[in-house]
Amino acid sequence: MEGRILPSLKTLVQTPTLQVQVIRVTVQQSSTEAELKCHSSCSPAGGLPFYVWFKNREHITSVETSTYTTWFNPTDVFSCGLKGHEKFPSPSVYGPKLPSVSVSPSAEIVEGSSVTLTCSSDANPAATYTWLKSNVKLRPPIEEQQLVLTSIQSSHSGQYTCRARNSLGSNTSKPISIKVKYAPNLPSVSVSPSGEIEEGSSVTLTCQSNAYPAANYTWYKKNGNPELQPLSENTPLVFSSIQSSDSGQYYCTAENELGRTSRSISIDVKYGPKLPSVSVSPSAEIVEGSSVNLTCSSDANPAANYTWYKENEDSPKASGQIFTITDFRAEHSGNYYCEAQNRRGRQNSTLHLIVVADKSTITMITNSIRLTLVGVGGLIPLLLFCRWMR
């Protein structure tokens, strides 16, 4: 037997394996009652065993049975043992400790990436887990230790917590914030005031876009120039006294490190008619009997309505941008004015017209007079000759 190693006495004398089983838990309004049982893998020699119970590692001397019913708090810890073997108690049973939550990857989270949240809590019996966002259970419910977001979106941003639960109670982790970085969404643009824009009023254009990090904003006006010049950056675009020349299409661009997008808005400034311009056609001398067109034009928004008047006459001569006189006579001569009008105001301009007699008529009159004069000149010598003969 030389050289043989004998087992130590400690390895030969083995105590039974003990385990605390939770038989029943009754939850009331302000307290919880549990029935616990100490289970042994084998019966020790010498008949029925006597049990000992520990609460928060303190010996409960009043209980020596295998079952124990007690009120407990979430922080309480229970274990059992066999009398005479108090140094070898069972593993403790207890409700979940405060869970901790970790995020992988731990760096910045970009939209479209995969993110895993892991919840851990010390508990016996082992805890089951439930995930919540903003204190509301996820739909569909996630009851796993890990929450995996395979293609995370901006809508996943928020406060996450996990709840660990076993038969002795539950505990909820502190919230962990998930911020998903994403490019700006299509901006929303607005104009204030929201009604019609009147020349001379104050107007503000505002641009907003959801983005993380926050977007930077730039306003442009489309004016046919291939390279637009910025009008305003990171502030609303303000017109303290908007003019008709400010009408047009404006673009707001929202941009961050992940992308850029833009949206346009059309500005239509309303204003009364500007001073009308009037013209006559034909533009040469107006000959009696000819047809004459008078035209009136005025810049206005909304478009102007036109009315023609003749000086010293109360009733209008015509309406519309063009006034036609088909057979111009001497009585048509005089001052005409056109009035341009919309709901924002009115303006008028005057045109002076004079008729010139028809040249062909003048020629005929001249020729008639000449013929008459020739006839009289021939009679004088004839009369003198007759008188001499007599």
Integer Cα distance of 167 and 96 in angstroms: 9
Amino acid at 308: W
Q: How far is CA 284 from CA 46, 61, 172, 245, 353, in A?
A: 141, 130, 96, 35, 11
pLDDT surpassing 60 at residue 163:
yes
pLDDT reported for residue 225: 63
Distance of alpha carbon 55 from alpha carbon 52, whole angstroms: 10
In sequence order, which ranges of 16-106 are alpha helices (DSSP H)? none
pLDDT in tens, 241-293: 999 999 999 999 999 999 999 999 999 999 999 999 999 988 868 888 899 99
Q: Residues 251, 189: contact at Cβ < 8 Å?
A: no
pLDDT digits (tens, 9 = 90+) for 361-371: 433 222 222 22
Question: In what side-by-side order are the strands of the sheet with 322-325?
Answer: 277-281, 292-297, 322-325
Domains of the chain, earliest start first = 15-94 (2.60.40.10), 100-181 (2.60.40.10), 188-270 (2.60.40.10), 277-356 (2.60.40.10)
Global pTM reads 0.65
Torsion angle defined by CA atoms of residues 270, 271, 277 and 282, in that order, rounded to the nearest 10 degrees: 30
